[in-house]
Structure 1
Amino acid sequence: MSSKATGPIVGVGDSGPSRRAVLKGFGAGAAGIAAAPLLAACTGGSKPSSGNSGSASKSVTVGSGSSDAVPKRAYQAVLDAFKAKSGDTVKVNTVPHNDFQNNINSYLNGSPDDAFTWFAGYRARYYATKGLVAPIDDVWEKIGGNFSDALAKASTGDDGKKYFVPNYNYPWGFFYRKSLWNSKGYQVPATFDALKSLCAQMQKDGLTPIAFADKDGWPAMGTFDYINMRTNGYQFHVDLCAHKESWDQQKVKDVFDNWKALLPYQDKAALGATWQEAATTLARKKSGMYLLGSFVTQQFTDKTVLDDIDFFPFPSMAVEGTDAIEAPIDGLMLSKKGGSNQAAKDLLAYLGTGAGQDVYASIDTSNLQTAKDADTSKFTPLNKKCADAIAHAKYISQFFDRDALPTMANNVMLPALQGFLKDGSIDTKQLEAQAKTLYQA
């Protein structure tokens, strides 16, 4: 059954730009990548201060790739609250999400805003290494107590300095409608074999067992990450992402062999659909479950539908049970220029407090605040279940296009996975040859 939306759906949000997309043109010198144009909407920030607090700028600009309706409103609420608290002038330049990520290299090398929305992990460390973002150790001196050691590590560059302030994170897992499952007598699968049996039953019941969409290329990476971690363990997964392990080995072949068992149950129209369109099939009870990040709930604007959504982690397979979870971290960074703007630093410090993150969470309930002093009293049962899954995970992965060299993710894995989805074939020798070239460069 196609996951294409065929008309307006009551209670399901508009599609709009992709929630996330793989970075293109990441880093100078990547072979075959054309120079991306500058982000038209982000054409500079406030005038840098001289560095002493008495003459610090009282204005700050923010470049944002949070262009989908819900996160856009949530970030605007944070900026409005910061403005009211500090008296500083704040201007946000919002760019379509894909465009923002695809052009980030040119953006940071051009005339960036003072602060910008970005991601933890490799994608933060990369630009720190290039000297295109500003260290914020002075900000972390104020907010460090609000974050776990894992979050602090994810915000640290290769030089040991802090460069990133986490705002929220969100787990990936299977989302489903409780009322549909109750009516059919479905049970949450604890093992991969149970998952396959459940899929077979859903198919007999006339459902598309697993809603799936990969038009934008990145969603399939989440499935790869989970099957790799469940088949070979977390450490092998991150080592493979870092090319400390070869792609041309049986362990990698095993991942795709295991995935093949799910292909008959995934939406056949996945390559032509966006994640938002696939979400509509879940809302309409046309699909049984959906493997995606918790941001999928942004699409369910009808409270009846939203309250009916439940979640379970990817079931166990060969190793480590469900100890590893995919839970990417999003937040803010400063451009190199923004590092001399005290108002920009004050904004990041505000986002590093529970008060700042609570403002964001009051609008975007699909994500989980990261600050220890954030208010969780209004968490829905779904929020609590997602937070519990992260809290009890022994290992947290970011996402393939955040844990791996981005040119590997975009230039190699994206087309390779789309080809796999099309015909079930994968050339691990070619993956290894391309990885060797990219990582050596």
Structure 2
Amino acid sequence: MDTRSRSSFSPSRPLPPIDRRTVLKTLGLGAVGLAGVPLLSACTGGAGPAGGSSKSLTFGSSASDDVPKRAYQAVVDAFQKKESATVTVNTVSHNDFQNKINSYLEGSPDDAFTWFAGYRMQYYAGKGLLAPIDDVWQQIGSNFSDALKKASTGPDGKMYFVPNYNYPWGFFYRKSFWSEKGYAVPTTFDELKTLAAKMKGDGIIPIGFADKDGWPAMGTFDYINMRLNGYQFHVDLCAHKESWNQPKVQAVFDTWKALLPYQDPGALGQTWQDAAQFLGQKKTGMYLLGSFVTQQFTDKTILDDIDFFPFPAIAVEGQDAIEAPIDGLLLSKKGGQNQTAKDFLQFMGTPEAQNTYYSIDSSNIATAKGADTSKFTPLNKKCADAIANAKHISQFFDRDALPAMANNVMIPALQSFIKDGTVDIKNLESQAASLYAAQ
């Protein structure tokens, strides 16, 4: 992820355990007490207009990194001015927000809050912890594609989510560094391995990697899985319509094992932000992450030097599928009774609000039709084109799968694999069978 993240259930980013895109530690249903609630309401990230207003709402945000935090504050400021409303912003660290989401929603949640599309939204909608916003979508529905509408729909067919942005995952690198070294963009997995070997021979860590927070490694798993077995297999595996204990899954890990010697050996002790800095400093050759990685490059010279390429083809479907998680806003069940909170989500679904967000955080791609693209950098345009031209768009494993499977099973399994290159797919299947049967 994605902030997803940007970003961390760990992402737009995010939103993480990454600072951006982590995975929930609670799947809950009462498994975790309300101890997390004070944490989620303790930090106020922004205040409303002085003097108060009869129109008010509280907004829970996991956009704790500097850039997205300021971007959401700009949206809040614009809404307050437009509607003469008061918005109290409660900003919590991305990972804490995601890890405490179950107790948060079952306790005293804010009216509106940042979250993700797809299964990670549908799960809580199905538990009755979210408020439907069909009336909001009657006003903003024409601003979104059918694919975005589908990703915003709950299991009951009602609308729950307002998309703000999405962002592609790919290999990011510094153009000048590659030009200096004579590196060429790989389009096949064999070319990727050859390039990585050349970088290692040049004394560079070929592939930047960071998995201290658990979720980032899921992006590598997803891409190798989709490139080997296809997009539909990814979806079915996440839904446990396919077994983990089969040759197709083992092939994903066997293929990935060929990259382990080229990944940063310090990955398990690094956050995604750490790895981004190493890329900017030319200590690593490339880095597989979402485009929110560019939030870390405050030096315009470095930012303008960043480019990316899609994960190379391996077997089926070439490079047709792309990871492009969608981040946006939801209403808690309580927030559904607050018309001003609904108005805030309606505002978020307009080009005006998304342009305001983008004016601060240009690492993401606005989802609303009519959003201003005239200020897109070449990298922004490339990201947008990659999403627009993809035949299949995945949401990222921790958003497409059952929360407990992502957090309780995949994070430790992937971290163990990164450490020693071994994985027990029979055990993965046993845990998956128990978790999905219990939901």
TM-score in terms of structure 1 length: 0.92
Cα distance, 1:231 vs structure 2: 0.5
Q: How many Å separate the matches in 1 of 2:233 and 2:35? A: 33
Cα distance, 1:23 vs structure 2: 0.9
**Which residue of the partner structure matches residue 180 of structure 1?**
177
Q: How many Å separate the matches in 1 of 2:64 and 2:83? A: 25
Q: How many Å separate the matches in 1 of 2:395 and 2:149? A: 14
**Which residue of the partner structure matches residue 23 of structure 2?**
22
1:396 equivalent among 386, 393, 396: 393
Structure 1, unmatched stretches of 5+, are: 1-15, 46-55
Cα distance, 1:38 vs structure 2: 1.3
**Which residue of the partner structure matches residue 205 of structure 2?**
208
**Which residue of the partner structure matches residue 302 of structure 1?**
299
- One-letter code aligned to 1:37: G
Cα distance, 1:40 vs structure 2: 2.9
**Which residue of the partner structure matches residue 36 of structure 2?**
37
8 Å Cα contact 1:43/1:112 also seen in 2: no
8 Å Cα contact 1:207/1:287 also seen in 2: yes
**Which residue of the partner structure matches residue 59 of structure 1?**
56
Structure 2 residue 95 is the aligned partner of structure 1 residue 120: no
8 Å Cα contact 2:18/2:215 also seen in 1: no
8 Å Cα contact 1:169/1:329 also seen in 2: yes
Q: How many Å separate the matches in 1 of 2:285 and 2:162? A: 36
Cα distance, 1:36 vs structure 2: 5.1
Cα distance, 1:43 vs structure 2: 7.1
- One-letter code aligned to 1:25: T
Q: How many Å separate the matches in 2 of 1:401 and 1:153? A: 18
- One-letter code aligned to 1:234: Y
8 Å Cα contact 1:17/1:96 also seen in 2: no
**Which residue of the partner structure matches residue 378 of structure 1?**
375
Q: How many Å separate the matches in 2 of 1:273 and 1:80? A: 34
Alignment length (residue pairs): 414
TM-superposition CA deviations, 1:194-222 (whole Å, max 9, x none): 11111011111111000001011111000
Q: How many Å separate the matches in 1 of 2:138 and 2:129? A: 22
The secondary structure found in structure 2 opposite 1:91 is strand
TM-superposition CA deviations, 1:165-198 (whole Å, max 9, x none): 0000010000000000111111111101111111
Q: How many Å separate the matches in 2 of 1:293 and 1:39? A: 31
Q: How many Å separate the matches in 2 of 1:41 and 1:286? A: 36
Cα distance, 1:127 vs structure 2: 1.0
Q: How many Å separate the matches in 1 of 2:95 and 2:293? A: 17
**Which residue of the partner structure matches residue 368 of structure 1?**
365
8 Å Cα contact 2:43/2:91 also seen in 1: no
8 Å Cα contact 2:60/2:112 also seen in 1: yes
Structure 2, unmatched stretches of 5+, are: 1-16, 45-52
**Which residue of the partner structure matches residue 50 of structure 2?**
none
Structure 2 residue 82 is the aligned partner of structure 1 residue 85: yes
8 Å Cα contact 1:174/1:289 also seen in 2: yes
TM-superposition CA deviations, 1:290-323 (whole Å, max 9, x none): 0000000000000000000001110111000111
**Which residue of the partner structure matches residue 3 of structure 1?**
none
**Which residue of the partner structure matches residue 331 of structure 1?**
328
TM-score in terms of structure 2 length: 0.92
Call closer, same or farther: CA 1:303–1:153 in 2, change over 3 Å: same
- One-letter code aligned to 1:317: I
Cα distance, 1:21 vs structure 2: 1.2
8 Å Cα contact 2:163/2:327 also seen in 1: yes
Structure 2 residue 322 is the aligned partner of structure 1 residue 321: no
Q: How many Å separate the matches in 2 of 1:29 and 1:247? A: 28
The secondary structure found in structure 2 opposite 1:412 is helix
Give the aligned CA root-mean-square deviation in angstroms: 1.7
1:431 equivalent among 428, 431, 434: 428
**Which residue of the partner structure matches residue 309 of structure 2?**
312
- One-letter code aligned to 1:421: I
**Which residue of the partner structure matches residue 68 of structure 2?**
71
The secondary structure found in structure 2 opposite 1:40 is helix
Q: How many Å separate the matches in 2 of 1:17 and 1:393? A: 26
Kindly report structure 1 stretches of 4+ aligned residues shifted beyond 3 Å.
33-36
Pick 1 or 2: higher relative contact order, CA cutoff 8 A, min separation 6: 1
Q: How many Å separate the matches in 1 of 2:125 and 2:54? A: 23
- One-letter code aligned to 2:372: D
1:257 equivalent among 240, 254, 258: 254
TM-superposition CA deviations, 1:35-63 (whole Å, max 9, x none): 65214342799xxxxxxxxxx96111101
Q: How many Å separate the matches in 2 of 1:126 and 1:357? A: 26
Structure 2 residue 141 is the aligned partner of structure 1 residue 140: no
The secondary structure found in structure 1 opposite 2:41 is coil
- One-letter code aligned to 1:258: T
Q: How many Å separate the matches in 2 of 1:38 and 1:303? A: 39
Q: How many Å separate the matches in 2 of 1:44 and 1:157? A: 30
The secondary structure found in structure 2 opposite 1:386 is helix
Cα distance, 1:280 vs structure 2: 1.1
Call closer, same or farther: CA 1:222–1:340 in 2, change over 3 Å: same
8 Å Cα contact 2:62/2:114 also seen in 1: yes
8 Å Cα contact 2:34/2:107 also seen in 1: no
**Which residue of the partner structure matches residue 191 of structure 1?**
188
8 Å Cα contact 1:137/1:163 also seen in 2: yes
Q: How many Å separate the matches in 2 of 1:102 and 1:336? A: 19
Call closer, same or farther: CA 1:108–1:34 in 2, change over 3 Å: closer
Cα distance, 1:259 vs structure 2: 0.1
Call closer, same or farther: CA 1:420–1:174 in 2, change over 3 Å: same
TM-superposition CA deviations, 1:2-56 (whole Å, max 9, x none): xxxxxxxxxxxxxx981221111123166xx6765214342799xxxxxxxxxx9
- One-letter code aligned to 2:391: K
**Which residue of the partner structure matches residue 337 of structure 2?**
340
- One-letter code aligned to 1:123: R
Call closer, same or farther: CA 1:240–1:41 in 2, change over 3 Å: closer
The secondary structure found in structure 2 opposite 1:358 is helix
1:245 equivalent among 242, 260, 263: 242
8 Å Cα contact 1:212/1:291 also seen in 2: yes
